[in-house]
Amino acid sequence: MALRSILQLPDDRLRQTCAPVTRFDAALKHLSDEMLETMYSAAGRGLAGPQIGVMQRIFVMDVGWKEGRPSPLVCINPVIKDAAGLAANDEACLSIPDQPVRISRPALVRMAWQDLAGRDCEGFFDGFAAVCAQHERDHLDGILCIDYPNLPNPVSEGPA
């Protein structure tokens, strides 16, 4: 397996809409393995196809691996079906290093996707998993976290 180079702004490919995946074969499995390896090596929790120059609707994520609870997920042709609530979170992006932003996103999402065999899947994501799934899915349409209104960081109360 090989690590892939992660594209960074201002690379134009990060702003393009990706094509649907239509071939579910060994090459797709190999790509997903390389994407996960690249994501882990970069200490990320998600990575989308366009971030490595693959202009297809695929992303990988694993929100628990840093806490010792690995749960890698490969999402192909993902679609957000429903969303509820709002939560403000700090987001970072491997393609925009050292520029975290605080944005508001739905706190709960229902997403449909295909797995590596082309089977239809559906699931609910909340908390950081919801943030990660939405962040990576946005990449597939050329949308970056810096495109959302940046919220101010909460001000902590100091001594009176």
Residues taking part in catalysis:
136
Selection from 115, 152, 100, 108 nearest residue 134 by Cα: 108
Helix (H) or strand (E) segment spanning residue 114: strand 108-114
d(Cα 110, Cα 103) in Å, to the nearest integer?
A: 20
d(Cα 89, Cα 5) in Å, to the nearest integer?
A: 27
Q: How many residues does the chain have?
A: 160
